Structure 1
């Protein structure tokens, strides 16, 4: 009996050893599959997260600018002074830079406040979309991720002149809002840049047509610019910093 027990003991050890080896191999295989799946799904997760971050930033920018425009009652005549000559021709445009800078600061602060209030966004992606391929896209249960937006805001103002017909020029006061949003989700960090231009105020300037007109694309020749109304207006407007 004793000899038989000694004979069976090595077999049991071998079985346990084989089981342990199989478990280790199964664990390695599982880790490899998970790493492969993560490598395959990562681009899709980053794309969806970046899209959600841009969507969130754009919505906050539009809401902030609309609120400030309504609160401050922003109108063209409140920020631009149009001077006319004896015959009614436009001689100069003067921008109220104090008002413009105040609007920049208000929009910057408001967008930042709105972004700070956005604590968490849920991002849900179908498993089939993560796997890839047109057959499985949009199919399967939803995988949920949490997006924590954070970023900085930069604003700028500029004048835009566009032809609006015979002897007419469309003058627009434009605001550019740049936002960089960092979306943080488990094991990922996604950065999305949003650049939006919004018209704060506009008007159509009607004046006496010059005897000759030259449309200039690049270059600023003083001789030619006397016939270019758009360039004359730009030169007379102060440059925003």
Structure 2
């Protein structure tokens, strides 16, 4: 082996003589720096993506149920307020009263033998209530719900601590109304006559990573009266003008 064929490698100030063939093997066994950097970058990216997935899963499984529950409570309160406002405005506009909605017909003994319901007026009020509710729903472009981060963690002790997380609620809804009436015997020669409107609202809440629907039902009593007599067999659909004339 000549001096040219010998490679001197220094390690800790010690010299080693290595054959060129072995030196080539050693050099080939080491990965280039660019390849090592590329591997580290890919590994870091995979770890970062896995971390993001875990965070999203945690938010979806642990935090979002609390957000949805609180959103449901807020939307339920908002829906009841919308319904009450629409009903109050409608009754005020139509100046509705029990006498204007139903008329009772009595016999010589003062017992109810038949009754007439002003379905025309009730249907008009139904349409007006639905229209007012829909307009109010459309006016709510976005609701912002501020939730302390301590409440999202599920710890009651820290429920009011920590910074607030603002969640935007986008309500989309529909409303339906149904007019109903009942005549029920409540005692000896006494009957309870009720007329009411069932208002049903379905609000869809869209929050980050989730959406849900909230159903709100309200029973609006128009007539609730106990009168003497038996349950009448006759029912008369009397127009509005005729009812008002009879009452007069």
Q: TM-score range by the shorter chain?
A: 0.7 to 0.9
2:56 aligns to what?
35
Query: Any stretches of 5+ residues in structure 1 without a counterpart?
Result: 208-228
Partner of 1:46: 68
Task: Give the number of the structure whose alpha-carbon radius of gyration is greater.
Answer: 2
Select which of 95, 100, 105 maps to 1:78.
Answer: 100
Tell me if structure 1 keeps the 8 A contact 2:113–2:234: no
Q: Say whether residues 1:65 and 2:87 are aligned partners.
A: yes
Structure 1 position 24, deviation (Å): 2.2
**1:56 partner SS:** helix
Partner of 1:236: 234
Whole-angstrom CA distance in 2 between matches of 1:237 and 1:157: 15
Q: CA deviation at 1:196?
A: 0.8
1: CA distance between counterparts of 2:34 and 2:157?
48
Larger relative strand fraction: 2
Q: Deviations over 1:138-168 (max 9, x none)?
A: 4322111111211111001112446677654
5 Å-filtered alignment, 1:147-162, equals 147-161=169-183
- Give the whole-Å Cα distance in 2 for the aligned partners of 1:182 and 1:238: 40
The Cα of 1:21 is off from its aligned counterpart by 4.8
| Alignment deviations for residues 9-39 of structure 1 (CA, whole Å, 9 cap, x no partner) | 9675476356425522440342133123222
**1:190 partner SS:** strand
1:3-152 maps to which residues of 2 (within 5 A)? 12-13=33-34, 16-17=37-38, 19-21=40-42, 23-39=44-60, 40-152=62-174
> What displacement does 1:95 show?
0.8
Residues 72 and 45 of structure 1, relative CA distance in 2, 3 Å threshold = same
Matched length? 210
**Could you give the per-residue CA deviations for residues 184-229 of structure 1, whole angstroms, max 9, x where no partner exists?**
233332211111101123333134xxxxxxxxxxxxxxxxxxxxx3
Q: Is the 8 A contact 1:126 1:143 kept in 2?
A: yes
Preserved contact between residue 175 and residue 197 of structure 1 (Cα < 8 Å) = yes
After superposition, what is the alpha-carbon deviation per residue over 1:94-140, rounded to whole angstroms, capped at 9, x for unaligned?
A: 11111121111111111111111121111122212222244443432
TM-score scaled by length of structure 1: 0.75
**How far is the alpha carbon of 1:50 from its aligned partner?**
2.2
TM-score for the superposition, normalised by structure 2: 0.73
